[in-house]
Structure 1
Amino acid sequence: MFGLPFWACFHALVRLRSRSRSQQSNSFQECGDKEFIFIRRSGFYFGFLFGVLQMTVWLFYDAGWILPVAGFLVGWVTNYIALKVIFQPLEPKQILCWTLHGIFLKRQVEVSETFARVICTEILHVKAMWDAIFTGRLSKNFFAMLRAHTLVFTDKMIAEIKPLAIAAMGADKFNQMKESIAQKVLEKIPDVIDASYEYTQEALDMEATIRVKMAQLSSSDFEGVLHPAFQEDEIQLIALGGVLGAAVGVIQLFTLFG
């Protein structure tokens, strides 16, 4: 419509940046539900492996600071590895009989489908697009185009009787009439546009477009779309693992040695 769908989508996405971080994270949690489960479970698996190493060190060197320091390192490294294997390696790598590939990237087709549905439900839905058109920073451009199209449309509708209308009304009043019609359209369209939501949704079919295009991305481009949603919290998650690990180490120290 007037060549504006991409512009509306762009501004709807820009507005996402003004939402709270918790709201932004919620948009991606459904996409990465299996990966979040992996992060939780990896604490046990990796923690056990590093815990065995920690125990071995403790058997040969039982200084009091070993447990909290080792706990911090175990928690830090465990979360670091868990987060890395979600997106790394970008391309499948064959090592002996194992194929290593980022956990998220293995599910590119499945994640693309979920991502498209979530984005089109929470961000790029038709109402958000029209809100961006009506109130975005380029809304004046839209209303200027709508006014111009309305004037042309009015001319076409009364083309056969236009000479008679001008003769009867005069050129000035005829132009005033067209301008009045255009202004009425500009005033009323925000109130009636919701009647077009269903048609617009079907015509644009944004969900299918995003799903197909996302699934066709290279692994590096796909990672570039989704990884930023996690990057903001990666340091906090890794640091939290270290702090919790150190706390467990302190508890172990006081439990075992009073």
Structure 2
Amino acid sequence: MNPALWLAPVTGALIGWFTNYLAVKMLFRPHEPVTISLTKLTIQGVIPKRKKEIARSLGEIIEKELISIDELTEHLSQEIQNEQLLDLLAAKASAGVVNSLPNLIPDPVKAVIGNLVANLVHHQGPELMRQVTSHALTGIKQNIDLSRLVEDKVNQMDWRQLEQLVLQVAAKELRHIEVLGGVIGFIIGLVQLVIIHFSH
């Protein structure tokens, strides 16, 4: 077979790859609107153009599908009320009380007082922590809008940060899209080659 006949598949592969490569780049660029003077057409990257919509949708998805404010506060509640934290509070309270006692009090007495404080924290601490935690987390639920928090964070990003974020998450998938364009272009060119071959 004439090597020149392979020009169609190779050209198709290059066109397919370049088309998808250009499409991927145009997700982000140009960052700012650019007007083509002759046509009055304004172009801008899809993601920069729809940044606010993307930020709002991302915030809603994270809150509804990934983690809600209720789930977040429940997790915080469990962390706050764990045994290690209670032990730490008991040790800190005991040490604080003992260190504040006058020097004239004998060390054995200080040790007894320290143990009493630690035992008191262990006994009363869980209920006190539940009350404080419940009050604090209720305030968090009422005052924090997780969806809006994510939306504002995304909107505060500049174009480079947003582009870098997307590329970190989807670089492999975007590369596959580019390669797929080349593969499809090659197959189309190959089909054309077969049609030309059998039509003669």
Q: TM-score range by the shorter chain?
A: 0.5 to 0.7
Aligned to 1:251: 191
Alpha-carbon displacement from aligned partner over 1:184-207 (angstroms, at most 9, x marks no partner): 469x96xxx89x977644332121
Q: Does 1:78 align with 2:19?
A: yes
1:12-23 alignment runs, 5 A limit:
none
In 1, Cα distance between the equivalents of 2:115 and 2:27?
68
Question: Which stretches of structure 1, 4 residues or more, deviate above 6 A after TM superposition?
Answer: 139-142
The letter for the 2-side match of 1:87 is F
The partner residue of 2:158 within 195, 218, 221 is 218
Q: State the Cα RMSD in Å.
A: 4.0
Which of the two has higher C-alpha Rg?
A: 2
In 1, Cα distance between the equivalents of 2:178 and 2:87?
52
In 2, Cα distance between the equivalents of 1:76 and 1:218?
29
Residue 113 of structure 1, CA deviation? 0.4
Does the 8 Å CA contact 1:68/1:247 hold for their aligned counterparts? Answer: yes
Q: Which structure 2 residue ranges, 5 or more long, are not aligned?
A: 94-111
In 1, Cα distance between the equivalents of 2:193 and 2:46?
36
Aligned to 1:36: none
Q: Does 1:67 align with 2:20?
A: no
In 2, Cα distance between the equivalents of 1:77 and 1:198?
54
Residue 68 of structure 1, CA deviation? 1.1
Aligned to 1:236: 176
Structure number with the bigger relative contact order (C-alpha 8 A, sep ≥ 6) is 2
The partner residue of 2:121 within 153, 176, 179 is 179
Aligned to 1:92: 33
In 2, Cα distance between the equivalents of 1:89 and 1:95?
12
In 2, Cα distance between the equivalents of 1:116 and 1:206?
7
1:52-201 alignment runs, 5 A limit:
63-96=4-37, 97-126=40-69, 127=71, 131=75, 143-144=84-85, 148=89, 171=113, 174-181=116-123, 184=126, 200-201=140-141
The alignment covers a number of residue pairs equal to: 173
Q: Which structure 1 residue ranges, 5 or more long, are not aligned?
A: 1-61, 153-169
Residue 141 of structure 1, CA deviation? 10
TM-score normalised over the length of structure 1:
0.53
TM-score normalised over the length of structure 2:
0.65
In 2, Cα distance between the equivalents of 1:124 and 1:116?
10
Does the 8 Å CA contact 1:71/1:245 hold for their aligned counterparts? Answer: yes
Residue 143 of structure 1, CA deviation? 4.8
